[in-house]
Amino acid sequence: MENETYIYHIQTEHSGKRLDRFLISVTEGISRSYLQKLIRQGAVTVNDKIIKQPSLTLRSGNQVRLTLPESRPLESVQPEKIPLDILYEDSDLIVLNKSAGMLVHPASGVIKGTLVNALLAHCSDLSGIGGVERPGIVHRLDKDTSGVLVVAKTDVVHRALSTQFEKHTITRQYVAVVCGIPTEVTGTIDAQIARSRRDRRRMSTVLNNGRHAVTHYQVLEIYNKFSLVQLTLETGRLHQIRVHLQHIGHPVACDAIYGGEQRALNDADTQPIKHALIHLKRQALHARTLRFEHPITHDSLLFSAPKPADMHRLIFSLRTLTRAHL
């Protein structure tokens, strides 16, 4: 497959627009975030000059050239026969329940045991937009977060799903056990997120120059020093839920990066709760439901995955303690 090239001549009505916003208005099936990535990689020229600033202001008479890269081959990532919990599959996409402890795609020297390795063994027709390391991957879950994930089999479906994520028309709901009890039963966390300057593995909330991020939450159950919370993503930033919950003082229980591990162990009131927390070995966060429009059939699809055994055990211990105190 050859590179696709598109040439646009800027008319008066588009003068003054940002480069990325203009391109998203004239292309189909490509998300703004993906276009921004292409711009930074040098895939766009203005008047035959490579431009790597998505915020560039266009002027009447400019000529914009966009080159979409061809799908890259997948030979460098090897298939592995790893069991998958598939919730739905057709010729266009796969929806699955990712287990905790599994990386979505190869990274940081890890080239085996990832979801991508398993997917390549399961089927050979994944979208190539993600390239060698991320074929078919439209969105991610953190390694130690379990739950529902959708994977694209074709480039057309990949781009269409990416656009749905970009436009926030996909519904993603999570459940988490958090430390403490939020003051309000329902609320919205609206705080920009950026990579931490002190630790590049972490993200943090910032007042300016971060990425817009919004999380809605609802407290489902209250225990002695913990709560079960439902979270709905309006945006989807890296570590968003974990960072936002830390930001309001209620980190996810057992989250070693964002302060929930030691606090949860300190707040454990009984040995069964402490044992359940130790057995968890990860943040108590699960992607429970995913709703989106099928890009080809246009059906509204809703998928759910039950809480895994380790979270169920923790919640059972917390409920038992709460009943004992009534």
The two structure tokens encoding residue 140: 């991610």
Helix or strand or coil: residue 119?
Answer: helix
* CA 61-63-67 angle, 5° bins: 165
The residue type at 313: R
* CA 6-10-11 angle, 5° bins: 135
CA atoms within 13 A on the CB side of 299: 5
Catalytic residue among 48, 92, 125, 142: 142
The two structure tokens encoding residue 95: 């929806």
Q: How far is CA 324 from CA 77, 80, 268, 319, 320, in A?
A: 52, 47, 15, 9, 6
d(CA 286, CA 168): 20
Q: What are phi and psi of 308, to 5 degrees?
A: -70, 165
d(CA 243, CA 252): 9
142 is an active site residue: yes
Task: Show which residues are catalytic.
Answer: 142
